[in-house]
Structure 1
Amino acid sequence: MAHSILTATHVSSHNCEFQMLVPACIDVEETKRQIHYLLDKPYNNGSVSLDAEPEDIIISHIQPGLCPQLTQQTRQGLYSWPSTPAERTAQQDCEGDRNITASRNCLVSGETNQAAWDSAELQGCPTVVANFSNLEQIKVTNETAEDVLHMVEDMLKEHHSLDEDDLLTVLNLIETVLNVTTVTPGLAEVIVNLMSDILVSNSDLQPFTNNILNITEKVGDRMSGFSEDSVSFVAPALALSVVKVDTEHVHNLTFGVKSAQNCPFPEIYINQEPFDGTVAFISLPVALLTSFAQNNLTLPRVQFQFYGVPALFKSP
């Protein structure tokens, strides 16, 4: 059983919130009374003095519940963590060596006071996804989609270039992710960063220009879950903005990209006049904006894409 305890004092004091695990608790109110009694005593170790007024000590009984069942795809294999009580540890055999144990702690979140998974302890497990060809054996699901992207991102850090087969494998995998899961802004950001990593690699991109353009377009078209009028993602070699267009109130739409000084990331701006440092700028004519079909449920969208690698568009 866990309790969330808040102690507060007056001027020149500090607030402190912490959790206490009570292994056996038959009477909740009695346990709270005992904790309050202990905290109400002044404490002084010679260098630190603690003294809280009784009314400033607030004790709440919390029930953190369970960490949910979770499937996780990693370079060390596929792991299915069972539903686990807070402050307990789930264990299972490593995929690459059944004699080694992988583990994952179910903790109590300090922010929500609810059970939450800590990072899995897989350091002792051997790597089973060692190269890009191994990715072809991975089944991407809605639950593991983002895991797979982070795994590819990690593998790209180990390779300065990809041959045609490896590059095709990676792009096909990203396409699969887009087809099996909902594209949230968080997932879109991961894909934009991943595509930027591909663009800045020493790979021969020209044969895959259409694949790269189609993936970026799908990210913007399928993204959901943002309430703002626009959302933008910026990486060193790629910028993507998606703008909702209310034709009754929007009479102009411009998109610009500025080279940021002392920063590898470009800066993007919407509906502003171009200024010093602008490397790309586009303005949509009013006639085009008024031609959008208006839907009562959703506003039409315009997406802007900026690629910082001119070689992507060179003729072979």
Structure 2
Amino acid sequence: MTQIITTISEMRAQVHAWRNAGECVGLVPTMGYLHEGHKSLIERSVADNDRTVVSVFVNPTQFGPNEDLESYPRDLDRDVALVTHAGADVVFHPEPEEMYFPDRSTTVHVEGLGNELCGKSRPIHFDGVCLVVSKLLNITTPDRAYFGQKDAQQLLIVRRMVRDLSIGTDIVGCPIVREPDGLAKSSRNTYLSPAERAAAVVLSRSLACGRAVVESGERSAEAVRAAIRAELATEPLAEPEYVEVVDTNTVSPVDVIAGEVLVAIAVRIGTTRLIDNFFFDPAA
């Protein structure tokens, strides 16, 4: 059975013991309610490292007012069962009071990269992500930390933060895991009604249209966006928040695809906000 650790001091002591034994450590940061996408990250860490820590922590600092902090799905027993099956050693499950002092005054902000895409509608989100990830990296001092590509903007921002702060952890991005019909795995998929779940497939379908355009040789970002928007428009329940093609270094929109880009969308299906994306490099 995977060990459950709830305090920072005990987590640090466990990592110290592993280090003294000459073992390397992987970290998979999560907010719990784990699915096959998380499992793929855990299995990658287990394959790459002697020991793997999976954090299960619904981080309050990355939720804005009127977001789904209180309703965010939680099931620790289910999470521990999945983590155990995937072969990880520890679930780090602290309470918010363990992670944050009541009078905390420190923030972690990555300038620029959080201004576009999800940052427009969730202005405090990435500061909260950077704060909790920096704390988790400091507590567990992993050799490698694993993040899913579905949250691509988060992956790019965490990589920049780790680079800028000279944190000695390799940030490993892992492919999106999808349902058989193409919908990207997400804890928020549980919010969808049956009709909304059927409609949500339009996200991956629209991105496939965009990918086909760019892989045909088209280098106009607007042409790619137009193809995606046209497919999204075929689904009455889909309300696009953004359809963008951005530079992976700056996360700023581009007009012409000349280097690696992230093609990303955010769409509301009913009250549920879903995201999906793909990377494209014309030189690859």
Q: Same fold (TM over 0.5)?
A: no
Name the structure with the higher helix share.
2
TM-score using structure 2 length: 0.27
- Asked which structure has the greater CA Rg, the reply is 1
Name the structure with the higher strand share.
1
